[in-house]
Every structure is written in C-alpha cells, then in structure tokens.
Amino acid sequence: MDGSDGSGATILQFPVMRREPPSIEAVTALAPPRSLAESLAVDAGFEAHNAMRGFDREFEYLVRAIQIGSGSDDATTRMRQLVDTHVAHAMDLCLAFQTAADQLVRLEVQVAGAEKLGGPGARALQGARREFRDRAIAARVAADAALGASRALAAHVRRAAGLAELTGEEPQQLQLFAAVG
C-alpha cells in the first residue's frame, strides 16, 4: 500500500502496541531475574520467601479440598481458572515492572546529561528507583506464584491421569496445558 486512500489523502498508520496473551512463557520472559529481585529485597531490608514453593504447596492443599467436595474434573476446572487468573495478574505486574524500568532508565539518562542534580531531580530519581525496586520484587513474586500454581495444576493433572510424578522438567504438553487458556 502506498500510504494513501482512493481520494489521494495520505493515511498515517500509527504503531499499535500488541499485548501478548498471558502465559507462563510470557511471564517468565518479562519477569525480572530472581537474583535482581532478591538483591533489591535484601537491600531494602525485606524478608525473602520462596513464592513458587509456597503456591505449589497451597494449591496442592486447595486441589485436594475441591476434589473431596466436587470430584477430580471439577477440581481441574477450578484450578485451571485460578492458575489463569494468577498468570494474568503476574503478566500485569511484569509489564508494570518493565514500564518502571524504562522510566528509570530515561530518568537516569536525563540526570546523566544534566550538569548538576538539583533537589527535584534527585527526589524524582530516588522515587523512580524505589518504584523500580518495588515493582521488580512484586513482579518476581507474582511470576513465582504463577509458576508454583501452574506446577500444582500439572501435578494434579498427572495424578488424575494416573501418571507418575516427575522429578525433572515438566513435559512440554503439561506446561502448555497449565499455561495456555
């Protein structure tokens, strides 16, 4: 297309941000590295917890409770909805982390270009660093929670299908079942 319609008017196409659908793979790609989140948490004086193991364990309890009351098929359906919700939430937090990281880099570049850093610039930079830290930690915890919930769902599906528990990596098919809507 030459950028004009039939009447000769020029048509400008603006770039459109396409949001990737929530998935474990997308969350894993967007989440900050664990080492970054852990170091930021330690520097801030926060206590670190293993969200992946915690959610894996809690979802195991939850699936057993649902299974006792409603059966295995209903437990799978309900757990799948919960996992999808966690993955979507983690995706939102990871995108917010990416935005905060971009804003921090922009501000760091502006400050580096300034001859001296005045009071407002220093406060803005301090606030951007704090927001980056908080969003990085939240995104990593949410990503780990979604991964833990996904592992619990995959384990439930294996048990319901009569498959043995795996000690290594999840088969790709079970990962996709747990991650894709």
pLDDT, tens digit (0-9, with 9 covering 90-100), for 96-106 = 999 999 999 98
Rounded Cα–Cα distance for residues 111 and 118 (Å): 10
Q: Residue 155 has what pLDDT?
A: 82
Rounded Cα–Cα distance for residues 91 and 97 (Å): 10
- Span between the terminal Cα atoms of the chain, in Å: 35
| Prediction pTM value | 0.71
Reduced to 3 states, what is the DSSP secondary structure of residue 4? strand
CA distances from 113 to 110, 171, 173 (A): 5, 50, 50
Over residues 6-23, mean pLDDT = 67
| pLDDT tens sequence across 122-160 | 788 889 999 999 999 999 999 998 888 888 888 888 877
Residues sharing a CB contact under 8 Å with residue 179, sequence separation 6 or more, in sequence order:
23, 24, 25, 83, 87, 150
What is the band of 178 on the pLDDT scale with cuts at 50, 70, 90?
Answer: very low
Dihedral sign computed on CA atoms, order 81, 86, 87, 88: positive
What is the band of 119 on the pLDDT scale with cuts at 50, 70, 90?
Answer: low
